[in-house]
Copies of this chain bind each other. A is one copy, B any other.
Amino acid sequence: MIQATGYAAKHSFSRLRPLSFERDDPKAGEVEIEILYCGVCHSDIHQVKNEWGNTVYPCMPGHEIVGRVRRAGASVSRHQVGDMVGVGCMIDSCRHCEPCEAGEQNYCEGPNSWLATYNGPMMPAKMSPTGENSYGRDNTYGGYSDVIVVPEDFVLAIPDGLRPEVAAPILCAGVTTYSPLRHWGVKQGDKVGIIGFGGLGDMAAKLARAMGAEVTIFTRSEEKLSEAARLGATAVLEGDQAAFTALKGSFDFILSTVPEKHDLNPFVTLLKRDKTIAVVGALEPLAPVNNQQRAMHRTSIAGSIIGSIAETQEVLDFCAEHGIGPDIELIAIQDINDAYKKVLSGDVRFRYVIDMASLKLEEAA
Contacts and interface: CB of A to CB of B under 8 A. Distances in A.
Interface of A: 52, 98-99, 104, 107, 109, 113, 122, 129, 183, 245, 248-249, 273, 276, 279-280, 282-305
A107 B304 contact: no
A276 B296 CA distance: 17
Closest 8 CB pairs of A and B: A294-B303, A295-B303, A300-B302, A283-B292, A285-B288, A295-B305, A300-B300, A285-B290
A192 to B, nearest CB: 18
A99 B104 CA distance: 34
Residue picked from A104, A122, A291, most chain B C-beta under 10 Å: A291
Contacts of A282: 291
A107 B296 contact: yes
Copies in the complex: 2
Contacts of A288: 285-288
A300 B285 contact: no
A298 B301 CA distance: 10
A291 B283 contact: yes
A290 B284 contact: yes
A298 B107 contact: yes
A285 B296 contact: no
Contacts of A98: 273
Contacts of A122: 296
Given A99-B273, A303-B291, A107 B297 contact: yes
